[in-house]
Amino acid sequence: MNITIRKANEADFEPIFALIYELATFEKAAGKVRNSVERMREEQDFFECFVAQKDDGEIVGMALYYFAYYTWVGKSLYLDDLYVKATCRGQKIGTQLLNEIFAVAKKTHCKRVRWQVLHWNQPAIDLYKKCGADIDEAWHNCDFDENGIVQFFV
């Protein structure tokens, strides 16, 4: 199977969203997906994405990222989601997507690339360790959803 890694465009949002939902299902959290293709169109200035595309045009993987600023290190690239369809895993597509992410980080002079992995996703952990990632188990996520933001009061 030949795979092309390329920058996503707005025409790719529907298959990207399908991958997002497939990833959420894989992570046993499909009910938490609040995003939509329409919202992605409205908010497309806030993220960038690479897709892995087969010769027949099917998009089988994605790496969605954005730039962030971390006080300890400065400009960083945050990889929000890296996902490859189950039927296409084991063919180094995830590695190809990571290579593109790191090429962007180098080109834009990022001081850090960061992402998260679920503690039970051993195949992903193994890939990231093989690549040399430092997996920090000391930090916990702190999240407020849209409702929590509106109701926040200290």
Which residues have a catalytic role annotated?
A: 128
**Do β-strands 74-84 and 3-7 pair in parallel, antiparallel, or remain unpaired?**
unpaired
Own/partner pairs for 105-112, CB < 8 Å, 24+ apart? Answer: 105/77, 108/67, 108/75, 108/77, 109/75, 110/67, 110/75, 110/76, 110/77, 111/70, 111/73, 111/74, 111/75, 111/76, 112/70, 112/73, 112/74, 112/76, 112/77
